[in-house]
Amino acid sequence: MAMSFLLNPKKYEKKHPDRKTGDIMLKTIQFFEDKGLGSLREEDRLHKWYDDFIKFLKREQVMATLLTPAEYGGPDSRFDLSRVCQYNEILGFYSPAYQYCYQVTILGLGPIWMGDNEKVKQKTAQLLKDGAIFAFGLSERAHGADLYSNETKLTPAGDGTYRANGSKYYIGNANKAALVSTFGKHEDTGEFVFFVVDSQHRNYKLIKKIHVSGGHQGYVGEYDLIEYPITRDDILSSGTLAWDSALSTINIGKFQLGFSSIGASTHAMLEAINHAHNRILYSRRVTDFPHIKKIFIDVYARITAMKLYALRSLDYFRSSSDQDRRYLLFNPIQKMKVTTQGVKVVQMLHDVIAARGFEQETYFSTALSEIEMLPRLEGTTHVNMAQIVKFVHNYFFNPVDYPEIPRRDDPCDDTYIFRQKAGKTATVTFPDYRRAYQGLDLPNIKIFREQMDLLIEFLLKATPDDKQRKNIDYMLALGEMFTLVVYAQLILENLRHYQIDNVVVDQIFSFMVREFAQFALHQLSNFINSESQQKYLKLMMKTPDISPTREQELWENHVAKLIGAYTMNE
């Protein structure tokens, strides 16, 4: 299982239903291997814009194939989330800075494909064939991504045209985007509006590049629109459609970050285990030390869990409809939990690789500087958690039957995501979450279920009072335990679709039990709780089943086999 489930570019085994998709993945891998780690790190130090990558995307028609809906593209084109996300994992494996260019293009395309402007859609399809990249002009320096406070304005010019004025901040691809999907308001009516501008237009003023701690090859910029002329042909959407397009685009974009985190974490682990195995301390290989083995075992379990959850969440996103909007819970957990697990993985590995991780010729230095950014792009973890806690009641206490969602890696144009239905989260329902546990009786799954059942009793018999419910910090902390329950459900569901050994699964739930206990302790020690609430929180602080035999089997049959399995070309 070790390298067939986790990505190893030099033994790329993914089967695709069409040749073009496989060619894109393999040629992208070859592009980075030919460039080599040394070149990537040198260009990062120089903050060099990746012109060669942009040319590669054009030559191989990557964007045109992966990001154009079938209606507007060639015979191989479709907006197929399965391959869109897989490409994010490959790019994240090599460089989250390169993934950022792709990520931001996806965001920029969102309002275009969601809008009702056919002329812009046809133009966009041609621009993608021409190798263009795109940008998403939503956030502003004073307000961040607060849509209500957006100050960019479209003012009627009196001849049926408009003038756009405003400033956008922290915008990826702001330097080269063929079209920047820009969010603002009609000055005369106050209605929300999305329109497109050209980053090379004389009324588009690129103010500066914003220097960030990682991703130096990407471009994060600030731009001003100064009396920028806008016609009706440049307007993508207005009113409710513009508002929905903003929210839905962010929903699509944030989902991609989990796959980038999986790719980056996988590469960091492979580099770290090679380094540790080849380093001799006290006449022993570093990988022979018991505490080092434990770190790698835990890291391996966490990355496996990240990918199992992300792929199952993808199944739900691809299968979504007006009647099945469960992705509105699963997507923010993908964004919040998978990316923060990536941060945890790199932090743990840094304790192994130590000072070597700071050396700039390593991939690890890339992961170290950029993995922390992923939970904080397209909405912070707190923003996503605030969305997650809205689903607690229906998830636990209002089960509704649904047809089984299959594994979704079939070739399909996922155009529903461009027609996402906005609406109250109270209308989103779920089947009985306990189905995922049927037939599974591993020791740590049993302990986790006990914790889960105690959480439900807590909610029923020690229900947070009005003051606690109004305390956002209290509810967000409680939401961490709920998040683990949902995370566990999708991981378990995906065991039906991927062959994962029981020792790996049990180890996954070992760290899940530990995290559940930590969150219970946090809830107990940071807030005022009633006596009944304290009782339940203390009971939730369980210890996992610790099995040296299981850990040794996991090390020998899975983790140790990663030693020397992959090294990036220099």
525-537 residue pLDDT tens:
999 999 999 999 9
Confidence (pLDDT) at 376: 75
User: How would residue 476 be classed by pLDDT, with cut points 50, 70 and 90?
Assistant: confident
pLDDT digits (tens, 9 = 90+) for 374-389: 887 755 556 667 788 8
Query: How far, in Å, CA of 238 to CA of 114, rounded?
Result: 11
User: How would residue 426 be classed by pLDDT, with cut points 50, 70 and 90?
Assistant: confident
481 pLDDT above the threshold of 60? yes
Both 126 and 139 in one domain: the answer is: no
422 pLDDT above the threshold of 90? no
By C-alpha distance, which of 161, 157, 364 is closest to 274?
Answer: 364
Residue 569 in any domain: the answer is no
Confidence (pLDDT) at 477: 85
Query: How far, in Å, CA of 291 to CA of 220, rounded?
Result: 40
Both 353 and 204 in one domain: the answer is: no
The CATH number of residue 344's host domain is 1.20.140.10
Confidence (pLDDT) at 538: 98
Confidence (pLDDT) at 387: 80
Confidence (pLDDT) at 428: 94
By C-alpha distance, which of 563, 445, 454 is closest to 504?
Answer: 445
307 pLDDT above the threshold of 70? yes
Residues 6+ apart with CB under 8 A from 32: 9, 40, 94, 95, 568
User: How would residue 3 be classed by pLDDT, with cut points 50, 70 and 90?
Assistant: low
| CA 324 centroid distance within chain | 21
What mean pLDDT comes out for the span 248-265?
Answer: 94
Residue 567 in any domain: the answer is no
Residue 566 in any domain: the answer is no
User: How would residue 358 be classed by pLDDT, with cut points 50, 70 and 90?
Assistant: confident
Higher per-residue confidence, 548 vs 145: 548
Query: How far, in Å, CA of 37 to CA of 363, rounded?
Result: 7
The answer to whether the CB of 224 falls within 8 A of the CB of 205 is: yes
Strand partners, 430: 399
Q: What is the 3-state secondary structure (H, E, C) of 27-85?
A: HHHHHHHHHHHHHHHHHHHCCCCCHHHHHHHHHCCHHHHHHCCCCCCCCCCCCCHHHHH
Both 323 and 425 in one domain: the answer is: yes
77 pLDDT above the threshold of 90? yes
Q: How far apart are the first and last CA of the chain?
A: 27
From 190, 220, 239, the end of a domain falls on 239
The number of CA neighbours under 13 Å toward the Cβ of 170 is 14
The answer to whether the CB of 209 falls within 8 A of the CB of 175 is: yes
What mean pLDDT comes out for the span 309-317?
Answer: 98
- State the angle between helix axes of 363-370 and 240-278 in degrees (0 to 180), rounded to the nearest 10: 140
Question: Strand, coil or helix: what is 120?
Answer: helix
1 pLDDT above the threshold of 90? no
373 pLDDT above the threshold of 90? no
Task: Specify the DSSP class assigned to residue 439.
Answer: T
CA 12, 13, 19, 22 torsion: positive or negative? negative
Domain that holds residue 88: 2-133
The CATH number of residue 142's host domain is 2.40.110.10
pLDDT digits (tens, 9 = 90+) for 495-504: 999 999 999 9
Residue 568 in any domain: the answer is no
Mean pLDDT of all residues belonging to the chain: 94
147 pLDDT above the threshold of 90? no
| CA 84 centroid distance within chain | 12
From 185, 204, 239, the end of a domain falls on 239
The answer to whether the CB of 230 falls within 8 A of the CB of 113 is: no
What mean pLDDT comes out for the span 48-74?
Answer: 97
Both 157 and 72 in one domain: the answer is: no
Both 232 and 198 in one domain: the answer is: yes
Both 84 and 224 in one domain: the answer is: no
Residue 470 in any domain: the answer is yes
Q: Which two tokens stand for residue 541?
A: 């602080």
Q: How many domains does the chain have?
A: 3
328 pLDDT above the threshold of 70? yes
Q: Which two tokens stand for residue 134?
A: 């795109």
What mean pLDDT comes out for the span 236-245?
Answer: 96
Both 385 and 451 in one domain: the answer is: yes
DSSP conformation letters of 443-481:
HHHHHHHHHHHHHHHHHHHS---HHHHH-HHHHHHHHHH
What mean pLDDT comes out for the span 424-437?
Answer: 92
- A 10 A CB-CB count for 125 gives 21
Residue 109 in any domain: the answer is yes
360 pLDDT above the threshold of 60? yes
Both 438 and 369 in one domain: the answer is: yes
Residue pointed to by tokens 């006290």 = 282
Higher per-residue confidence, 146 vs 41: 41
Both 228 and 348 in one domain: the answer is: no
The answer to whether the CB of 103 falls within 8 A of the CB of 256 is: yes
The answer to whether the CB of 168 falls within 8 A of the CB of 138 is: yes
Both 141 and 49 in one domain: the answer is: no
- State the angle between helix axes of 96-114 and 81-94 in degrees (0 to 180), rounded to the nearest 10: 150
Cα torsion through 360, 340, 63, 59, rounded to 10:
20
544 pLDDT above the threshold of 70? yes
Both 255 and 151 in one domain: the answer is: no
Q: How much of the chain is in helix, strand and coil states, percent to nearest 5?
A: 60, 10, 30
What mean pLDDT comes out for the span 72-88?
Answer: 96
The CATH number of residue 129's host domain is 1.10.540.10
Residue pointed to by tokens 């990988």 = 287
Confidence (pLDDT) at 424: 78
Residue 570 in any domain: the answer is no
144 pLDDT above the threshold of 90? no
Residues 6+ apart with CB under 8 A from 496: none
Both 483 and 343 in one domain: the answer is: yes
pLDDT digits (tens, 9 = 90+) for 185-219: 999 999 999 999 999 999 999 999 999 888 889 99
From 239, 271, 304, the end of a domain falls on 239
152-189 b/e (C-beta count within 10 Å ≥ 16 → b) = bbbeeeeeeebbbbbbbbbbbbbbbbbbbbbbbbbbee
